Amino acid sequence: MEHPKATPSHYKFKLMPEFFVNYHEIARQSPNSKVTTQPSLGLIDQPYSETTNTQPDAEPKKPWERFAAYIRELNTENPDRVTYKVLYLTRHGLGVHNVFEAKVGKEAWNSYWSHLDGDGTVSWVDAKLTEAGIQQAETLSQFWTDAVATENVPLPESLYTSPLARCLETARLVFSKPMGQFREQFQPVVKELLRERLTDHTCDKRSTRTWIEGHYPSYLIEPGFSEEDLLWKPDRWESVEKHVARKQKVLEEIFAQDSSSFISMTVHSYAISAILRACGYEEFRVREGSTIALLVRGERVGLS
């Protein structure tokens, strides 16, 4: 699979920040400048249109119920041209590569260790989760279960994941239990373009399609997904612009092909930054094992 060429976009994406907490401010106030999962997934309790607010004699609806009704209403207004989707972006749990980088320091990691397969004891090719990363994902899973049960936060109607092992496993640990508990199908779609920014670090090289199918048999792998990793190169860094273009393309595919309004993507730190930039928004960082929620407006462009 090649990098997407610089062709005119079929969608223009815009993040609508007024519905959720100020993630930039939260990042600034955080000791490590990274956003964590927020109470109620950061939704601001506010009135919407008259039809979505509680009627006088009706039982009061919870904020996420009213917000979901508002999204459905928005999507009936101009469905051929404009679509609104709530994106649940989950960063994978702590990986072995994250721990080793912290151990040796960023300079030593970038200049030497990241180019190796491991240190002789630990391998970080297609880096796996640490025990702490597994615990982060399990804690986040319980958060989701409680949020759905107590606040009526909508479960994802569709799930997508990066093909890298740390995301495949995080998606399973976070979403399989709540989806099963509320009798929803857990069947993530593996999408190549959701992977992290491509660097010469071996942690960003993915495993084979056969390995993914063997370890995650319930996952759906998108058409055209190659057996070997054709994107990663040991001597190439993907520019920020090309990475953003790659996330623009994957967003276009999802907006064009998936009618779901609530969509989960299990991805990476810089992947979240690129998605934000594709939506015309200043990036912020997200802590490992955390979910953020965003409302994105996608407008088809070039239609007659």
In a domain, 182, yes or no: yes
Q: What does the pLDDT read at residue 122? A: 93
pLDDT tens per residue, range 4-15 = 444 455 999 999
In a domain, 106, yes or no: no
CATH number of domain containing 195: 3.40.50.1240
3: confidence class by pLDDT, cuts 50, 70, 90: very low
- C-alpha distances (whole Å) from 202 to each of 19, 119, 192, 297 are 38, 12, 16, 35
- C-alpha distances (whole Å) from 270 to each of 198, 284, 303 are 10, 9, 32
In a domain, 55, yes or no: no
Catalytic residues: 92, 196
Total domain count for the chain?
A: 1
pLDDT tens per residue, range 90-129 = 999 999 999 999 999 999 999 999 999 999 999 999 999 9
In a domain, 166, yes or no: yes
Residue 165 backbone phi and psi in degrees, to 5: -55, -40
**Region 161-173: what's the mean pLDDT?**
98
In a domain, 275, yes or no: yes
Domain containing residue 178: 10-46+63-92+129-199+207-301
% pLDDT > 90, the chain? 88
In a domain, 1, yes or no: no
Task: Please say whether the beta carbons of 3 and 255 come within 8 A.
Answer: no
**Region 202-227: what's the mean pLDDT?**
97
In a domain, 87, yes or no: yes
pLDDT tens per residue, range 18-65 = 999 999 999 999 988 999 999 999 999 999 875 555 555 567 899 999
- 291 has a pLDDT exceeding 60: yes
- Which residues share a beta bridge with 299? 12, 82
Q: What does the pLDDT read at residue 6? A: 45
Q: What does the pLDDT read at residue 5? A: 46
- 133 has a pLDDT exceeding 60: yes
In a domain, 291, yes or no: yes
